Amino acid sequence: MSNPFLELQNVKTHFPIERGMIFRKQVGTVKAVDGVSLSLRKGEILGLVGESGCGKSTLGRTILQLIPPTDGTVILEGKNLNRLKGDELRYARADFQMIFQDPYASLNPRMTVYDTLAEAISTHKNVPTGEMPKRVSALLEKVGMSPRFIRKYPHEFSGGQRQRIAIARALAVEPKLIVADEPVSALDVSIQAQIINLLGKLSREMQLTLIFISHDLSVVKHISDRIAVMYLGRIVELGPAAQVFDRPLHPYTKALVSAIPTADLGIGGKSKRIILSGDPPSPINPPSGCPFHPRCPFCDLPRCATIVPKLEPLDDPAQTAACIRLKEIH
């Protein structure tokens, strides 16, 4: 196999915490993303799962160069994105786009659907004015909306429709990579399924590489080829979607899987339900060693508090987890 389509090498995104009005001094660091390495092939869908504050959204924005990484590199088709500056970066943005969580906030309320999409199209391409309406209509049809809505404003649409428009905007520049940050969590259950189907279909049809960020493992499982589970800025488990879901390796993934509310009665599940104690710790002062050890039911002190675990396979090399007791607990 040739070079991967997208490669992250030890990406770190830290935010300084500063105090003081004039003489600002750094009093701490939020390690939102702390050493993430990943590689994706073209057309792959990666589900990125974790709780709030685990750094999944920051990672997504770091990949798209909306937040500069503190360390590490993001390489897209052999091009180091961190090195791009100014206009170079602006032009490169045609290759990677983002879909946001809140369809009520991600569209400019004062622009019609046409204005929004036409702006996106014309950012990276010269399209004759006469041809623009056709292009916009084609985009709307691609996301399953009728072109007759072209003159309408965002507030006249439902959440699901707005999310479709936001997807159309991302597609307008014909990107190769899309990061979707919780694209369905603001939507109703029945609408969620529609958007997930749409994203899956688009990815297949357009050979689009998709990073699908969500806090909900069950949503991610369906659309993704692989799933990466994040905890406190690090990936703790990575593997094929169905495998991660059916046979989670890392204790944290196990807890996440068992926390999915299952609307089934008596089909088991209850007995092996793991309820974690405590809240996710703050990324300002992450625990030493394995970041999960204070909440982990399998924690073995002092080992777990001292050794920083690396992603390792149990048996199948495709599925890896960052737990030093991986072999002992299975």
Partner 1 sequence: MAEGITIQPESAPNAAQDQGASLWKDSWHRLKKNRMAVVGGIILILLFLACTVGLLLANLLGYSHESQNLILGSAAPSWQHWMGTDILGRDLFVRVLYGGRISLMVGICATAVSLIIGVLYGAVSGFLGGKVDSVMMRIVDIMYALPFTIFVILLMVVFGKKLILIFLAIGAVEWLTMARIVRGQVMSLKRQEFIEAAQALGLRKRRIILRHIIPNILGPVIVYATLTVPGVMLLESFISFLGLGVQAPATSWGVLIDEGAKAMEQFPWLLIFPAGALSLALFSLNFLGDGLRDALDVRASKD
Partner 2 sequence: MPPLLQVENLHTSFHTRHGIVRAVHDVSFDLEKGETLGIVGESGSGKSVTCYSIMRLIPQPPGRIEKGRAMFGGVDLLSCSEEQLRKIRGKRISMIFQDPMTSLNPYLKVEDQLIEPLLIHEEISHAAAVKRGIEMLDAVGVPASAERIKQYPHQFSGGMRQRVMIAMALITKPDLLIADEPTTALDVTVQAQILDLIKKMQKELGMAVILISHDLGVVSGFCDRVNVMYAGRVVESGTMHDLFQRTKHPYTRALHKSRPVFQPKGTELYTIPGMPPDVSKQIVGCPFAPRCEFAVDYCTREPVLLKEVEPKHTTACLRVQKEGLKL
Min separation Cβ 64 and partner 1, Å:
6
Biggest CA–CA distance in the chain, Å, is 70
Cβ partners under 8 Å of residue 155, min gap 6: 109
Residue 260 in contact with residue 248, Cβ under 8 Å?
A: no
C-beta atoms surrounding 280 within 10 Å: 17
241 binds partner 2 (CB under 8 A): yes
Is residue 20 helix, strand or coil? coil
Here the tokens at position 327 are: 């072999």
105 binds, among partner 2, partner 1, none (CB under 5 to 8 A by kind): partner 1
205 lines the binding site for partner 2 (CB under 8 A)? no
**Cα–Cα dist 84/92, whole Å:** 8
Tokens of 135: 């292009």
Closest approach, Cβ 187 to partner 2, in A, equals: 9
Among partner 1, partner 2, none, the one that 94 touches (CB under a kind-dependent 5 to 8 A) is partner 1
Which helix or strand (DSSP H or E) is residue 234 part of? strand 234-240
* Span near partner 2 by CB under 8 A; candidates 126-134, 163-171, 255-263, 320-328: 255-263
Among 29, 70, 218, 288, binds partner 2 (CB under 8 A): 218
Tokens 């399953």: give the residue: 144
Asked if 313 touches partner 2 (CB under 8 A), the answer is: no
35, 72, 147, 200: which one binds partner 2 (CB under 8 A): 200
Binding site for partner 2 (CB under 8 A): 51-52, 158, 160, 188-190, 192-194, 196-197, 200, 215-219, 221-222, 241-242, 255-256, 259-265, 270, 273, 275-277, 279-280
